Amino acid sequence: MPSVIDRSPVQIAVSSGGASPVLARLLRARLETMIPASYGKLADFVASFRDKVKQRFSFDERRRFWESVLQGPIAEMLLSGHTQAATKALEDLIGQKKALGQKYGEVYLVGGGPGDPDLLTFRALRLMQQADVVLYDRLVSPGVLDLVRREAERIYVGKEPTHHPVPQGEINQLLIRLAKEGKRVLRLKGGDPFLFGRGGEEIETLMDEGITFQVVPGITAAVGTSAYAGIPLTHRDYAQSCIFVTGHLKDDSMDLNWEALAQPHQTLVIYMGLRGLPVISRELIQHGMPPDKPAALVQKATTSDQRVLVGTLETLPGIVEAADIKLSSIIIIGDVVSLHEKLAWFTVVK
Amino acid sequence: MPSVIDRSPVQIAVSSGGASPVLARLLRARLETMIPASYGKLADFVASFRDKVKQRFSFDERRRFWESVLQGPIAEMLLSGHTQAATKALEDLIGQKKALGQKYGEVYLVGGGPGDPDLLTFRALRLMQQADVVLYDRLVSPGVLDLVRREAERIYVGKEPTHHPVPQGEINQLLIRLAKEGKRVLRLKGGDPFLFGRGGEEIETLMDEGITFQVVPGITAAVGTSAYAGIPLTHRDYAQSCIFVTGHLKDDSMDLNWEALAQPHQTLVIYMGLRGLPVISRELIQHGMPPDKPAALVQKATTSDQRVLVGTLETLPGIVEAADIKLSSIIIIGDVVSLHEKLAWFTVVK
């Protein structure tokens, strides 16, 4: 099949008759999503070096030179705001008169969002499309992983709630080694890398080694869940603040500040709380939260496997147990949960 | 920042001088990887129904008809290879003259993210490209607003920290009225609509009127700030939870649960806390938080106006006052702030 690119949106529109403006606009919308807004900056940067490069290189050399620059880390430095570093690297490169090739590797720490690939950011997808190697784990949805460049090497460093197939220290070392080999390494995480993503721990070691990196925020699971389950995290009438914790069980208990969590007028969001839900429910009630406080567990929010189970602080553990939930889930406790009935708009039809 | 979209790849190439053919080609190659090859098939499919649709529908109806087809399950069927099913579904649809039953328009409640247009989600941009009218406020960045469909009507319902030019109730009524006129109404918010965005309040009234809506989560300001300032919100060694509040001043005080906020081992994020910072600092210290707790204020995170001011709970108010900060800002208080020095990667060069 011929690539659609060989036909401009205008040509497609003409051939499609009555639907032409619509199809052309849809295509344009799709194209717009694909071009980073900062490409203009890149064009200006390139223009500012035109004369220097022309003096130094032959016509053929110039083509190769710009290819290596525009597809490589220098362009990415610039697009991610490292203007000085990009300028210096380009000047070095012109001085050395050799193609940079892959001398500098770098690491992209990227949030893959809550599951629906439609909730990826432009920046995330762009980096996914130019990575040489991708390290991902269990919390990255298959639909998101599908959008990684086909040629990229994929390394599963999956994390299960109960055991880590690849220990954190090894992941850190792997990132360093790959970057030092000159690769563009994408560390892809579910949700956001800096909110229960251990992203801080991973890039701290990179920094020690002087490796360039950038961090791309993602829609964190709580926020994606909130939107797709119709449960606002804050609401003037119900909750003026919101607290995020992990409900990771250690020896059947949790090291949480229950008293602070049981406060009124706030929404409590618990990541990784499925197994610990009975403990959470018991402790919060013991620390003064009303047993009839609305509570919900949302499985695989934003995907076609989304399920929303609603009950109270007291009844939710039983409801969840009966429903045989096993997958990634978010627990939301607070009066805002009562809005779900009214605000639910995302329905999954199998 | 002007949208690059207004400049074609060719224009960009021209302005970039020596690198022009390379840059143009790279852009084109990038686009090719992004557009499903099957879009050509979709165009042909649409063309084959052109005459039938033209006979049956008026000009305005046709636009609406094709939009509903091209964005809905029929297009999905076709793109996924179910040509016969798609053909049958489209014939049914023309026969019923349905799908136009959009007597009411609909409302998209969309999170525009923290500022950098590169952090919009695909879904957000797609809806921005098909809206008839857009209601936006002060917290939506100009770069994001630039990406709204050019033909869309734009209505500013700006909210300032101290006064609301358009009262909330009027915004709600406006959304209802526009949707009832049959428009596709996009309510565009900075950050995420359900986390200090009052999105819940706005769509509650829509629901009462039976108006269709969807909610698109956005990167909330705290998460964008965290990534671009190099301050993880959680970190094994420093903070196992994170609490989000607003620091909105009422009569020089704030109705916050200071004791809960002053707890250790958590990160405290304050939205809209610039004016109240002296009060926040004083109250937290009075409620037992150490005066030397690391604290940062980040102005306009993720944009070229980003500034990160770092101090302690005690010193930050003075640092901020001296720096003459006036724009959207996020305050982060907690030990994770000490990581900024090490993890900052996004530098703005003017």
Q: What's the pLDDT tens digit per position in A21-48? A: 566 666 655 555 555 556 677 778 888 8
Among the partner-chain residues A30, A214, A346, the one whose CB lies closest to the CB of B345 is A214
Q: What is the pLDDT of residue A54?
A: 84
- Domain span holding position A116: 105-219
Q: Compute the C-alpha angle A112/A87/A203, nearest 5°.
A: 35
User: Mean pLDDT, to the nearest integer, of A172-188?
Assistant: 93
User: Nearest 10 degrees: CA dihedral of B175, B178, B184, B190?
Assistant: -30
Q: Nearest chain A Cα to B129, which residue?
A: A29
Among the partner-chain residues B118, B207, B345, the one whose CB lies closest to the CB of A36 is B118
Residue A250 and residue A253: Cα distance in Å, rounded? 5
A273 pLDDT tier (thresholds 50, 70, 90): very high
Residue A14 placed within a domain: no
- Give the total residue count for chain A: 350
What number of C-beta contacts closer than 8 Å exist between A and B? 373
Q: What is the pLDDT of residue B63?
A: 78
Regarding whether B299 and B202 lie in a shared domain, the answer is no
Among the partner-chain residues A47, A125, A263, the one whose CB lies closest to the CB of B16 is A47
Chain A contact set for B28 (CB, 8 A): 5
Question: Considering all CA atoms of chain B, what is the largest pairwise distance in Å, rounded to the nearest integer?
Answer: 75
Residue A189 placed within a domain: yes
Residue A49 and residue A26: Cα distance in Å, rounded? 36
Say whether B41 is catalytic. Answer: no
Higher-pLDDT residue of B154 and B3 is: B154
Q: Nearest chain A Cα to B30, which residue?
A: A34
**Most confident listed range (A64-78, A274-288, B253-267):** A274-288
Among the partner-chain residues B44, B62, B119, the one whose CB lies closest to the CB of A18 is B62
Token readout for A251 is 């020896």
Regarding whether B245 and B337 lie in a shared domain, the answer is yes
Regarding whether A161 and A199 lie in a shared domain, the answer is yes
Residue A8 placed within a domain: no
Regarding whether B283 and B228 lie in a shared domain, the answer is yes
Q: What is the pLDDT of residue B326?
A: 80
Residue A24 placed within a domain: no
Exposed/middle/buried for A329, CB within 10 Å: 0-12, 13-18, 19+?
A: buried
Q: Distance from CA of residue A281 to its chain's centroid? A: 30
CB contact under 8 A, A18 and B54: yes
Tokens 């390139």 locate to: A46
Q: What is the CA radius of gyration of chain B?
A: 24
Amino acid found at A43: A
Q: Nearest chain A Cα to B225, which residue?
A: A217
Residue B149 and residue B151: Cα distance in Å, rounded? 6
CATH of the domain at B231: 3.30.950.10
Q: In chain A, what percentage of residues exceed pLDDT 70? A: 83
* Boundary-marking domain end, from A201, A219, A237: A219
Q: How far is CA B287 from CA B249, B267, B270, B277, B311, in A?
A: 18, 16, 17, 15, 19
- Nearest-CA distance A321 → chain B (Å): 26
Say whether B137 is catalytic. Answer: yes
Among the partner-chain residues B4, B204, B345, the one whose CB lies closest to the CB of A39 is B4
Regarding whether A240 and A312 lie in a shared domain, the answer is yes
Q: Nearest chain B Cα to A119, which residue?
A: B121
Q: What's the half-sphere exposure (Cβ side, CA atoms, 13 Å) at A309?
A: 22
CATH of the domain at A168: 3.40.1010.10
Which of A282-296, B11-25, B134-148, B164-178 is predicted least confidently?
A: B11-25
CB contact under 8 A, A231 and B347: no
The helix or strand, by DSSP H or E, that contains position A268, with its residue range, turns out to be: strand A266-271
Q: What is the pLDDT of residue B76?
A: 63
Residue B285 placed within a domain: yes
Regarding whether A238 and A197 lie in a shared domain, the answer is no
Catalytic residue among B54, B88, B146, B159: B159
pLDDT at A87 over 60: yes
Residue A82 placed within a domain: yes
The CB density around residue A96, as the number of other CB atoms within 10 Å, is: 10
Chain B contact set for A63 (CB, 8 A): 21-22
Chain A contact set for B250 (CB, 8 A): none
Regarding whether B112 and B63 lie in a shared domain, the answer is no
Contact between B333 and B244 under an 8 Å Cβ cutoff? The reply is no
Regarding whether A141 and A92 lie in a shared domain, the answer is no
Residue B207 and residue B176: Cα distance in Å, rounded? 10
Residue B162 and residue B151: Cα distance in Å, rounded? 32
Catalytic residue among B60, B116, B137, B146: B137
> Which of B1, B3, B16, B41 would you mutate first to test chain A, the one with the most A CBs within 10 A?
B16
Dihedral sign for Cα atoms in the order B303, B306, B312, B313: negative
pLDDT at B165 over 70: no
Chain B contact set for A5 (CB, 8 A): 28, 31-32, 35
Q: What is the pLDDT of residue A50?
A: 84
User: Mean pLDDT, to the nearest integer, of B163-182?
Assistant: 85
CB contact under 8 A, B46 and A19: yes
Domain count along chain B: 3
* Boundary-marking domain end, from B219, B241, B260: B219
Regarding whether A215 and A149 lie in a shared domain, the answer is yes
> Which of B241, B257, B265, B287 would you mutate first to test chain A, the one with the most A CBs within 10 A?
B241
Q: Compute the C-alpha angle A276/A280/A284, nearest 5°.
A: 175
pLDDT at B12 over 70: no
Higher-pLDDT residue of B67 and A15 is: B67
Q: What is the pLDDT of residue A164?
A: 56
> Which of A61, A211, A219, A267 would you mutate first to test chain B, the one with the most B CBs within 10 A?
A219
Q: What is the pLDDT of residue B13?
A: 36
User: Mean pLDDT, to the nearest integer, of A302-321?
Assistant: 95
Residue B329's nearest CA partner among B303, B292, B294, B350 is B303
Tokens 């809550």 locate to: A114
Regarding whether B302 and B229 lie in a shared domain, the answer is yes
Regarding whether A333 and A242 lie in a shared domain, the answer is yes
Residue A140 placed within a domain: yes
Residue B21 placed within a domain: no
User: Mean pLDDT, to the nearest integer, of A74-90?
Assistant: 79
Residue A320 main-chain phi, psi, to 5 deg? -70, -40
pLDDT tens for each residue of A202-234: 888 888 888 989 999 999 999 999 999 999 999
pLDDT tens for each residue of B246-281: 998 777 778 899 999 999 999 999 999 999 999 999
* Boundary-marking domain end, from A61, A82, A102: A102
CB contact under 8 A, B217 and A214: no
3-state secondary structure (DSSP) of residue B141: coil
Regarding whether A187 and A280 lie in a shared domain, the answer is no
User: Nearest 10 degrees: CA dihedral of B109, B110, B114, B118?
Assistant: -170
